[in-house]
Amino acid sequence: MISNRNTPAPHRRWLLPSLLCSVLTLTAVPLLAQSGEVPFTAEPVAEFDQPWAMTFLPDGRLLVTERKGRLVLFDITSGARSEVTGVPKVFYGGQGGFGDVLLHPEFERNGVIYISYAEPGENNTGGAAVARARLVLDEGEPRLHALEVIWRQVPKVTGQGHYGHRLAFGPDGMLWITSSERQKFTPAQDMASNLGKIVRLQEDGSPAPDNPFAGQGGIAAEVWSLGHRNMLGLAFDSEGRLWAHEMGPEGGDELNLIRRGANYGYPSVSEGTHYSGKAFPASHDERPEFEAPVITWKPVISPAGFVIYSGELFPDWQGDGFIGGLSSQLLVRVEFDGEQAREAARYNMGARIREVEQGPEGHLWLLEDGAAGSQGRLLRLSPR
């Protein structure tokens, strides 16, 4: 049985197109803390059609991906928005569609951005792809120029789940990609496939030469870690440690500290169970050769989106992680202590939270998933 925790139920489309500049009445967000007072307010700013990811430009404008295949440039101050042209056709359906968007570390010099998306293959197959292009903003309508696909999931398979394709640049200047196992289980342990792996690439998409399996060549040369299921959040802390959360099966969502060459065990081990009720062969405690999660969530939170906060607007939260929850409709705060972590608080947002980002002025920004008959709202969190 396939989980639908990551996929919202079918819903009615709004009559207003997502790119229509219009004055919208946005309802205030009711908030409920697990315990105590919620330390922030959540202000709805805009709405998007099934948004998946966002990133801020140096001038404060926002790029937002919509899963059906649109990249939107949004001006928070004026409310103006326009569609960025030159985006590739996406393989939309299930969990597939447009994914992440990321600026090159030297974006202000070169204007390069990276995007991830599901692309179609032959015989109704599909897989994630990552492309880079130059974002042109000074020639009328915004557009992508010289788009080049630099990485693909191998192999393309049937089904519409577990693409992953979260992107991050590390302190080492390398591009990191989560490549989920596409609900196919065994490729996560197969070094001839990059499914169920975290990959580490140079900015042009070639494998980093010092990757742990570089000597094997081929697909294995791009792999940093393996044995993953469905990773929808990736973030570096201030010490350069890489953390990724992982949506588990029936129970067993995880937060993992990502180590060089480590095997996280899926599908040989899991703290959850198959949706059929069948148990996994073992838990991490029973197979210590596999890297164990730092946090396991049972019941699940269905994690999506992840940022480690570094701003000054919430000084008590500097260094804390924030994770969105899909089926749980939560914002989860995680405190780190070196290589350890614990859940510190959870806030009921009343909607599926797909993306979490930090803004240039230190606000936390959330994107709702856009389920239950509504558009996905963009929320700005400010101190209460």
What is the set of active-site residues?
162
Q: What whole-number distance in Å separates Cα of residue 300 and Cα of residue 254?
A: 9
- In three-state secondary structure terms, 225 is strand
Q: What is the 3-state secondary structure (H, E, C) of 260-287?
A: CCCECCCCCECCCECCCCCECCECCCCC
The amino acid at residue 236 is F
Q: What whole-number distance in Å separates Cα of residue 109 and Cα of residue 286?
A: 50
- In three-state secondary structure terms, 107 is helix
* Residues 356 and 365 sit within 8 Å (Cβ to Cβ): yes
DSSP string across 44-90? EEEEESSEEEEEE-TTS-EEEEETTTEEEEE-TTT--EEEEB-PPP-
Joined tokens for residue 69: 């295949």
- In three-state secondary structure terms, 315 is helix
Closest to 39 measured CA to CA, from 368, 347, 276? 347
Collect contacts of 357-363 with beta carbons under 8 A, ≥24 apart. 357/54, 357/55, 357/56, 357/305, 357/307, 358/307, 358/309, 358/310, 358/311, 359/56, 359/311, 360/56, 360/60, 361/311, 361/313, 362/311, 362/312, 362/313, 362/314, 363/311, 363/313
Q: What whole-number distance in Å separates Cα of residue 205 and Cα of residue 291?
A: 27
Joined tokens for residue 37: 């007072």
* Residues 8 and 352 sit within 8 Å (Cβ to Cβ): yes
* Residues 102 and 114 sit within 8 Å (Cβ to Cβ): yes
DSSP string across 15-36? SS-TT-------PPPP-EESSS
Phi and psi for 331 in degrees, rounded to 5? -110, 120
